[in-house]
Amino acid sequence: MRQTFSLLSALALLLALACAPARAQELQVVAAENFYGDLAQQLGGPQVRVASILVNPEQDPHLFEASVSTARLLKQAQLVVYNGLHYDPWMEKLLKAAQSPQRKVLIAADLVQARSTDNPHLWYQPAYMVSVAKALSQQFQTLDPAHSAAYASRLDAFLQSMTALSSRISTMKSKYAGLPVTATEPVFGYMAEALGLQMRNAGFQLSIMNDTEPRVSDVIQLEQDLRTRSVRVLFFNSQASNRAARKIQKLALAAHIPVVGVTETLPAGKHYQDWMLDQLAALDAGLAKDRP
């Protein structure tokens, strides 16, 4: 009997620990994607606790299905940030299912006034990330006015760190603007635009993104671009590839066209700024290669 009792008390204690509210002074933030989560953590510092949902680099975010634990996280959150533009349609469903009147919700697509047909990979446009950062910081300051000054100075530090990214972009733009490039998916689209690159094969990329079979004419055009070496690099989505995309990757390698791997979500252990700079460095190396 005593043993049963102690077992029960142990269980009760565990339950109490599991249900204990987080320290009251920490804002509970949920980010649908880990690059927004990274932004929230950079801007919120020790005053926020961030949980990101899409973190697995092995998983195609376009095909993600949310779980019960995700719904529980959202129920407790004071601030939620997600992308929108059908990139994370599960988020809207979950937010509706787990109603919470005090919760604030930021949608990146709304903040940057994206149109419904725009490329959903908004975080590849640094100017959009700046808009999201400003909105996040504003929310932190409203929800937790006691730490307003700390949030404001972290926003300044973030904006300062983004200048390294914009100067890299303008240097590369002056070297490479106008060069034709292609991709298996439009993941790098906004950055390619910022660099002034001429992106080809949009139709093929949309099919891969939507996980549909690409049109024969789109496949023929892309294969011809590779075979005739009409493009200087291939951006390959190393996170969300399928058979058609991998075939294209092989063709590019066979034609000695540099393949630049890009990912949907933030690799572990990196901040957004470093991630973008690393991918730009890889692209710079690819574009700098003399065509044999």
Residue with tokens 């949030």: 151
**By CB under 5 A, residue 112 contacts Zn ion:** no
Q: Least distance (Å) from Zn ion to the CB of residue 15?
A: 40
What per-residue string of b and e applies to 167-203 under the rule 16 or more CB within 10 Å gives b? ebbeebeeebeeeebbbbbbbbbbbbebbbbebbbee
**If binding is defined by CB under 5 A, does position 257 make contact with Zn ion?**
no
Any contact of residue 108 with Zn ion (CB under 5 A)? no
Q: Give yes or no for residue 85 binding Zn ion (CB under 5 A).
A: no
Total residues binding Zn ion (CB under 5 A): 2
Q: Report if residue 74 touches Zn ion, rule: CB under 5 A.
A: no
Neighbours of 282 (CB within 10 A): 17
> Quick check: 191 binds Zn ion (CB under 5 A)?
no
CB 162 → Zn ion: shortest distance, Å?
A: 23
122/199 Cα distance (integer angstroms): 16
Instruction: Establish if 111 lies at the interface with Zn ion (CB under 5 A).
Output: no
- Minimum distance from residue 279 beta carbon to Zn ion (Å): 14
CB of 235 to Zn ion, least distance (A): 11
**Candidates 18-26, 42-50, 93-101, 259-267; binding stretch for Zn ion (CB under 5 A):** 259-267
Q: Quick one: which segment of 99-107, 110-118, 176-184, 263-271 binds Zn ion (CB under 5 A)? A: 263-271
Q: How far is the CB of 90 from Zn ion (least distance, A)?
A: 15
Does residue 208 bind Zn ion (CB under 5 A)?
no
Q: Is 187 in the site for Zn ion (CB under 5 A)?
A: yes
Structure tokens at 36: 């927004």
Task: Report the residue number, 88 or 264, with the smaller CB distance to Zn ion.
Answer: 264
Q: Where does this chain touch Zn ion (CB under 5 A) — which range of 30-38, 159-167, 213-221, 260-268?
A: 260-268
Report the interface residues with Zn ion, using CB under 5 A.
187, 264
